[in-house]
Copies of this chain bind each other. A is one copy, B any other.
Amino acid sequence: MVNSQKNDKEKLTAADWERGALELIAEQGVNAVAVESLARRMGITKGSFYWHFPNRQTLIEQALSRWLEHDERNLQILLDTITDPRERLIVFFRRSTQINQFTHDVYTALCFAPDHPLVEPVLAAVAERRTNYLSQAFRDLGMTDTAAEFRARLTYASYVGYLQLMQQEQAFEPENINFEPYLEHVIHTLIPTV
């Protein structure tokens, strides 16, 4: 569960704190990132923290910035690997259901704090990247620009909503028997047939 605890006499770096913060965000949300509790969790005191960071806000900023880059690379890998647009969309759906993927859990947590001033720009950036990704795929499948744009937004909304319902234990999870048929239905409904 917590794999960022201090390995005994090892000294901590700023990156260690950022990783710890991201783990906390993934598990309990942005508001759960408190300096003292995070320090306890890492088996150290906050005296260390304030040596590495000027304040809590900077920690969160840098942690989110780190996550944003990580997420960027993930998407780029998809773009480089898969060329067929239909395949890209299907992969998008499948990936969105893989909870316990770390970067994915962080995103879900961020969605639950859209008002937070530090989270807002991150969400905006991610939303733009992903809708562009989707929009491009739909265009490649022969849709008009506006239709592709609309379908991308609808798809992204259903993706975000699925994440949310999953958190509420209100959606089919991959282990469920109905999951595959449901996914088939979604693909059939949202992806135009070639």
| CB proximity to B under 8 Å, residues A145-176 | 146-147, 150-151, 153-154, 156-162, 164-165, 167-172
Q: With the chains together, A172 CA to B154 CA distance in Å?
A: 11
User: Looking across the interface, which residue of chain B has its beta carbon closest to that of A123?
Assistant: B168
Q: Of the 9-residue stretches A3-11, A17-25, A181-189, which lies at the interface with chain B?
A: A181-189
Partner of A127, one of B146, B153, B168: B168
Residues of B within 8 A of A181 (CB): 146, 150
Contact B31–A168 (Cβ < 8 Å): no
Could you list some 29 contacts between A and B, CB below 8 A?
A: A29-B115, A31-B31, A112-B112, A114-B168, A120-B168, A123-B168, A124-B169, A127-B168, A146-B181, A150-B186, A151-B189, A153-B165, A153-B171, A153-B172, A153-B182, A154-B185, A154-B189, A154-B190, A157-B157, A157-B158, A157-B159, A157-B171, A158-B158, A158-B161, A160-B164, A160-B165, A161-B162, A164-B164, A189-B190
Q: Is the C-beta of A111 less than 8 angstroms from some C-beta in chain B?
A: yes
Residues of B within 8 A of A169 (CB): 124
Q: Is the C-beta of A44 less than 8 angstroms from some C-beta in chain B?
A: no
Q: Is the C-beta of A12 less than 8 angstroms from some C-beta in chain B?
A: no
Q: With the chains together, A28 CA to B156 CA distance in Å?
A: 25
The smallest C-beta distance from A165 to any residue of chain B, in angstroms, reads: 6
Top 3 A-B pairs ranked by shortest CB distance?
A161-B161, A157-B161, A160-B161
Q: With the chains together, A111 CA to B164 CA distance in Å?
A: 8
User: Looking across the interface, which residue of chain B has its beta carbon closest to that of A186?
Assistant: B154
Q: With the chains together, A157 CA to B170 CA distance in Å?
A: 10
Q: Is the C-beta of A113 less than 8 angstroms from some C-beta in chain B?
A: yes
Q: With the chains together, A111 CA to B108 CA distance in Å?
A: 12
Residues of B within 8 A of A160 (CB): 160-161, 164-165
